[in-house]
Structure 1
Amino acid sequence: MSAPYHGSCLCDGVRFTVSSGPMGITECYCGHCRKGSGGNSQIMAVFAGKDVTFESGQDRVATYTFTNTTSGKGKDKTFCKTCGAQLWTVPDAAKSSNLLLIRTSLLDEGLEMKPDNAIFTRTRPAWVPAIEGVENHEAAP
């Protein structure tokens, strides 16, 4: 599995391509990711923002900034205005590096992306096992 990667939102109105490989893949169990995904966690791959290009639907993209985070620092959640699908997150710490944390579930190739770490595992449900070989952190590293 190598770049390019192709992604889209639920309504297929926003389509994008990523021309580079992920710098890391994280499974997150924080409250925002659980609520945003409608599940136990969310898996995100870190990509350089400069390598993400819109194929269509850039006019459908909006951003909401969360300030009620565990770290106390803001993070932008970018989503499709039509279907509401979250596209990526940009924590304040990643803005200067122009990094995007893209939902692997939006990528056509995303099912092949295994996390290399898990964060906020202190709020992982007790009945959900840790992924073998994945580094676990009770909070953000």
Structure 2
Amino acid sequence: MSTAKYTGECLCGGVRFTVLNEPKAVLSCHCEHCRKGAGGIGQVFGVFSKDDDLNLKPGSEDNISTYVFTKTTSGKPKDKTFCKSCGVPLWTVTDDVRQKGQIILRTALLDKGSELKPKAAIFTTGRPSWAGSMEGVPDFETMP
């Protein structure tokens, strides 16, 4: 069995998981959904393979709920999962990542997740002007 690269959990610990591999990409997003979902200026997330990378701990599935956003920039619905107990956003599944068997997982949930530096910042038109760009990280007004 593979050793986990990361362990993670929601705020209350009701949803716990391991991630077996490094993310395929790490991005900082400032779209409306990420800003409102985080209650801040945006979110940093990693793209992982849902089946190959993410392993939920026993009992976690019972604490997961999904909200489907239909008003999206792509025009296609996307699923946002969250913990039923503490409300923490867990991961997102857009139409594009669903077709690839992937998920968009919040890096803040991972131990050492703050060490995962974004390779790009997306939907930067939603980022406050006082927040500014990250050094060495390209900005994109939409999804590149």
Q: Paired residue for 2:56?
A: 54
Shift of 1:140: 1.3
**Under a length normalisation based on structure 1, what TM-score does the superposition of the two structures give?**
0.95
Q: Contact 1:3/1:21 (CA < 8 Å) preserved in 2?
A: no
Q: Paired residue for 1:38?
A: 39
> Superposition pairs for residues 74-89 of structure 1, below 5 Å?
74-89=77-92
Shift of 1:3: 5.0
Aligned mates of 1:30, 1:8 — CA distance in 2: 24
- What percent of counterpart residues are identical? 51
Q: Paired residue for 2:12?
A: 11
Q: Contact 1:44/1:101 (CA < 8 Å) preserved in 2?
A: yes
Secondary structure of the corresponding residue to residue 44 of structure 2: strand
Q: Structure 2: which 5+ residue stretches go unaligned?
A: none
Counterpart AA for 1:87: L
Aligned mates of 1:96, 1:87 — CA distance in 2: 19
**Under a length normalisation based on structure 2, what TM-score does the superposition of the two structures give?**
0.93
Q: Return the structure number with greater strand share.
A: 1
Counterpart AA for 1:33: C
Among 112, 117, 121, which residue is 1:109 paired with? Answer: 112
- Tell me how large the CA RMSD over aligned residues is: 1.2
Secondary structure of the corresponding residue to residue 57 of structure 2: strand
Q: Which runs of 4+ in 1 moved over 3 A?
A: none
Shift of 1:22: 0.5
Shift of 1:126: 0.7
Counterpart AA for 1:43: V
- Deviations, residues 81-133 of structure 1 (Å, cap 9, x unaligned): 11111100011111111111100110011110110011101121111110111
Secondary structure of the corresponding residue to residue 136 of structure 1: coil
Q: Contact 2:79/2:92 (CA < 8 Å) preserved in 1?
A: yes
Number of matched residues? 140
